Structure 1
Amino acid sequence: MFPKDPLLLPEPRRRVKTGCLTCRRKHKKCDEAKPVCGFCTRRRFECVWPSRASTFHLMVPGDERPTKVPATPDLQPIEAKPVAKPAVSSSFCDLKSLLNEVKPVAVPITPSSDESVRDRPWAFERNEVSGVSPDYANLRETLRDYMFLNAMTTSPSTPANLSGNIFENDLSLDDQLLNLTKGINAFHDGLEFGHGPADNDILSPEENLLLLTRYVNDIGPWLDMFDHRSCFTALLSKTAKDDPLMCAILTISSRQRDKLQHDRPVSETTYRLYERSLTYLIPKVKKVPDTSVMASCVILCCFEMMSSDPSETWTKHLKGCAALFRVADLHGFSGGLRQAVFWCFIRMDVMHAISHKTATLIPCENWLPRNCTVQHARALFLDSKFDGNESRDMYANYMVFLLARVCRLVYSGNLKQDDFESEWIELYTELDRWWQDRPSEMHPVVSVFKDGTPFPSILFCVAPAISGTQMFHTAMILLMKYKTRILRPLPTLAVDPVMRKSLIWHAKCVVGISLSNSDHGCLNNALQPLWVAGKLMSSKEEQHIIVQLLRDIENTTGWSTSWRIRDLQEHWSY
């Protein structure tokens, strides 16, 4: 089982029981001024009020007051008797009973008014999903609540262990379940219940084909960057009847299309597809997450990371996925699609760790099968049973693992000096071995360091070599940057000369690799390495090249980079 990790705790949500539906979705206190409340007036939101005749009272276990929920033909009232606040174990059972009563609902994908999404006051630019959009914010919170509630209600652990190991914080398990359940209910409150349009009313056959083509040619290869079997791309041939996964695929494809059309805000189509994805996921909340559900959640997490800067949104969604992985006992050697889903998520987790200067949300030990320790990692990753292509993939994954260990070492700040130095030397040695033992396909085809040019030209043939080598240089920068005084000079080890290179040399290699290789998945994965390397550049010419490179990445792939440009310019004191 996964050890206790306070990073995966869901923040408690405010309880909102009265006021307009917009304030409920935003979790704001409503002054109940009619016809338009003060909050909606200030923010220029549409103020929607529930009909008094269409509400009924729902008593949720652990709550002494009734909550108003729309009564509709599709979502029948859940009958629950008022009860005293139960103990953890009984609350766990009560919530599962409550969820068993919830039936799939037909939810319209049209906005709650005739107004087009792009015409609303909160329409936003292509650079990022707006943080002030009430509708997108509601969808984000609903996805996160879904992942946490799914993990909590399907865990094989006992309720006591679940509370202690996964979601330990100041709230009892009962209160956490209650808060998350209300978050899911809020999603229903904000929709016009009834029979929504069929999927073909969202996309024409031509649009559907264009989005699926975009996924196969561009987005799928992002997700399959270290997977020669192309599991994510091959999903399309297996998901014709899998509504959540198909909707997630169409959602991220639509979002990328929006991002690449420079003069167009996030489209109504993207919003409606995102909403439809959640309407298919919500009825599965009481079920143990299968691989398809986890793949859908990972794709939607990728959607969020592609669309915005590293606000709390990143962390919230990654925490939710990490919780699902714990429940499903998913790790880096699970095999098949489960393994592909894990490594796709872990690359995002490592980039999040670099961005937030923290350890990964899933500890490195839990990337390995049960009863395996970090000391077993090298043998596992370099197992001779892997064929040539899989061996190359796992060699790159081993560098992801080493980079995660470096992040934990340099950002944790809770190691004693002796332990820090011991781990530092071990990682330094492992990085050297990784560099020296690279298989032939992990070596560059061309490597040119020419005087008078700011950055080298380093060309590779395959994505694992591109991104794996770039992460190696990033790990070396972080490791050398945080070297203690006692370790200076470097330990006397029989290492490759590259291990003695300067921080600037490694930083220039990071930039040179992205300049020389156009693989879109590797360009997206380079955002945080370029941030680490860019901070070391002092020449105006070098800085200009990096800024233009980041702009080209966003214009080519749709992955948001503008926020990193601003961070670098601030660091350079522009």
Structure 2
Amino acid sequence: MAGSLQNPLPNISVNQDQPEEYVPRRRNRTGCLTCRRRRKRCDGVRDVCGHCIRLNLICHWQGPHEIGEGSASSSHSVSQRPRVTNHSCVPLTIPIAPAPFQFLQSDAPELARRSLDRKLALRYYVQIFNTMLTTNLENNGFLSVLLPMAIEEKALLDMLIAWSSSHLSLCDDTYRIKALEHRSTALQSFTASLLKNELPEVSLACCLVFCSMSAVLGDTAEWRNHLVGAAHIIRHAWLSSSQDGSLKNPPYEIRWLLRNFAYHDILMSVTLDREPLIPGRYWIPQPVNELDSYVGLASEPLALISKISSLNGDAIRQMESSSPCSDSESISSSSHDTDDSSFSQTVDLISQAYSIEFELQDWKCPESNSQCLVNLAEAYRSSALIHLYRVMRRRILGSSTELEGKIASQVTSIVYQLEQMPLGCLPECTSLFPLFMAGGETRSKSTMQFIRERLQHIATYRHFQNAASALSVLEELWLQHTSITGPMTGHLLDWLDIIRRRHWELALS
């Protein structure tokens, strides 16, 4: 009896019939759900473990369980706890955009994958790509608007296929030639559609798809032309007959297309340092708190960004009008009137700037079940304030300690809000703009590193090449700022200087 108590394990260890399912009891039970379903040992690194990074998998983590009444003392309630099986996983509260490689590694026939025919490109758009473009699934206009229109209009269908195949070619270079063929077909169909004078909403949708496709491909020269064409269509088809520059109860599809255009137009006004092509609130969703595919809950901050860009245009015109002319007699005769007029205009600009600042600070983000959408909206509010303070610094008041402090505070706010958004979440798709605005003003190396990692993730996970272009501008800017030793005299390099020197038209949309 004593001997058996001293050595109770040999009988267990020599049992050759013991099933191997008992061995994994030593696995890390606190690892991610992805590794647990694959029966692999997880290193436990949040938010993305090492195995999922290496294999380019979506790293799922189990969230906290709710405890019902009496569940702490009732074995019945414990039995009702949801269990993870091989066919389902714990529902995620934050939707994650699917990686393109999930489609590439699907069970599609090898011949079809190599040929990238139209059906395969359209299936990629429906299954993967559209989800990478929207901040939410409730109002995903890339499916609910563009796809039904494309069923009836061949030009738009060709454009969606070209867009989808072009993005797929960024993920796998073997699709590049076929993607070029699809883009050529789309251009021919679009030209034929314009010659036949098709419905204006179809032409507008094609222009917007071409603009987005050029931005995703990293174009820094031609994407704005498609936006200019879209602006002409909007003015001619809808705004020309409107007395106050707004539309009265347009159909849902047209409202979505106008919001789509406004998003690209307003962000373009920031990077090109100019007014929007079509200023105003013609595109504001009804109801106002309706989720937008691009900016989610941030429609009001986006409208105020447009207002700031218009203010910037007014300030530029004032500077040009107050510049000295060559006629010395006209200068002496009108200098007093010019000074009074210039002073009055400056006071008016300052008043408008502080009014916009108050509107942004007073804005309340609509309530939402998605915390990520709230985080994105707050990041856009801070980006709008940075844009405002930059205009005040460059055009109206000049640099001051107060303005620099306000800018630094908004940079901190953007980083805080975006840190709450997990990598790969749906609202991440339009976080490029706030990341860039914060990166252009930060002097903190830790903040630079955070922005660098986020932009690299957007460029590698979503394959949005305009994120890589934006990062290259910031890297040059950061190199200049971090290499400065001692006090800086004169003009401090700005990201606008880098863009102009490169002759770029940077797309942040």
Scaled by the length of structure 2, the TM-score of the pair is 0.56
Shift of 1:521: 6.2
Partner in structure 2 of residue 396 of structure 1: 298
Pairing 1:349–2:265 present: yes
More deviation, 201-210/540-549: 201-210
Superimposed CA distance per residue, residues 461-486 of structure 1 (whole angstroms, 9 cap, x where no aligned partner): 253x3443222211211222343449
Please give the residue correspondences for 1:69-468 in structure 2 after superposition, counting only pairs within 5 Å.
Answer: 203=117, 205-219=119-133, 221=134, 228-235=138-145, 236-261=147-172, 264=173, 267-286=176-195, 287=197, 289-311=199-221, 313-329=222-238, 333=247, 334-362=250-278, 364-365=279-280, 367-368=281-282, 386=287, 389=290, 396-410=298-312, 412-415=315-318, 416-441=342-367, 461=371, 463=373, 465-468=374-377
Shift of 1:505: 1.5
Q: Percent identity?
A: 13
Contact 1:332 1:342 in 2 (8 A): no
Contact 2:214 2:223 in 1 (8 A): yes
SS in 2 for 1:267: helix
Alignment length (residue pairs): 328
Superimposed CA distance per residue, residues 43-71 of structure 1 (whole angstroms, 9 cap, x where no aligned partner): xxxxxxxxxxxxxxxxxxxxxxxxxxxxx
Partner in structure 1 of residue 438 of structure 2: 533
Contact 1:473 1:507 in 2 (8 A): yes
Contact 2:207 2:227 in 1 (8 A): no
Counterparts of 1:386 and 1:519, CA distance in 2? 29
Pairing 1:506–2:420 present: no
Which structure dedicates a bigger proportion of its chain to helix?
A: 2
Distance change >3 Å, CA 302–CA 387, structure 1 → 2:
closer
Shift of 1:527: 2.4
Paired letter, 2:262: I
Superimposed CA distance per residue, residues 153-207 of structure 1 (whole angstroms, 9 cap, x where no aligned partner): xxxxxxxxxxxxxxxxxxxxxxxxxxxxxxxxxxxxxxxxxxxxxxxx8616445
Distance change >3 Å, CA 308–CA 207, structure 1 → 2:
closer
Partner in structure 2 of residue 570 of structure 1: 476
Distance change >3 Å, CA 358–CA 467, structure 1 → 2:
farther
Counterparts of 2:276 and 2:161, CA distance in 1? 29
Distance change >3 Å, CA 521–CA 250, structure 1 → 2:
farther
Shift of 1:229: 3.6
Shift of 1:396: 2.7
Counterparts of 1:404 and 1:208, CA distance in 2? 34
Paired letter, 2:469: W
Shift of 1:344: 1.0
Superimposed CA distance per residue, residues 396-439 of structure 1 (whole angstroms, 9 cap, x where no aligned partner): 32221210121232355113453344344334334433443415
Give the alignment's Cα RMSD to 1 decimal.
Answer: 3.6
Distance change >3 Å, CA 488–CA 422, structure 1 → 2:
farther
Q: Any gaps of 5 or more consecutive residues in structure 1?
A: 1-200, 370-380, 446-459, 491-498
Counterparts of 1:391 and 1:231, CA distance in 2? 8
Distance change >3 Å, CA 239–CA 403, structure 1 → 2:
same
Pairing 1:516–2:426 present: no
Shift of 1:500: 11
SS in 1 for 2:317: coil
Shift of 1:504: 0.9
Q: Any gaps of 5 or more consecutive residues in structure 2?
A: 1-114, 240-244, 319-341, 481-509
Counterparts of 1:270 and 1:438, CA distance in 2? 44
Shift of 1:354: 1.6
Counterparts of 2:399 and 2:417, CA distance in 1? 29
Counterparts of 2:183 and 2:121, CA distance in 1? 16
Distance change >3 Å, CA 256–CA 516, structure 1 → 2:
farther
Counterparts of 1:266 and 1:297, CA distance in 2? 23
Superimposed CA distance per residue, residues 372-402 of structure 1 (whole angstroms, 9 cap, x where no aligned partner): xxxxxxxxx69xx838646998963222121
Paired letter, 1:506: Q
Paired letter, 2:351: I
Paired letter, 1:210: Y
Distance change >3 Å, CA 545–CA 229, structure 1 → 2:
closer
Counterparts of 1:265 and 1:283, CA distance in 2? 29
Distance change >3 Å, CA 306–CA 210, structure 1 → 2:
closer
Superimposed CA distance per residue, residues 75-116 of structure 1 (whole angstroms, 9 cap, x where no aligned partner): xxxxxxxxxxxxxxxxxxxxxxxxxxxxxxxxxxxxxxxxxx
Partner in structure 1 of residue 502 of structure 2: none
Contact 2:194 2:203 in 1 (8 A): no
Partner in structure 1 of residue 380 of structure 2: 471
Task: From the CA coordinates, give the structure whose radius of gyration is larger.
Answer: 2
Partner in structure 2 of residue 26 of structure 1: none
Distance change >3 Å, CA 505–CA 326, structure 1 → 2:
same
Paired letter, 1:414: R
Counterparts of 1:570 and 1:207, CA distance in 2? 37
Paired letter, 1:253: S
Scaled by the length of structure 1, the TM-score of the pair is 0.50
Contact 1:248 1:277 in 2 (8 A): yes
Counterparts of 2:440 and 2:378, CA distance in 1? 19
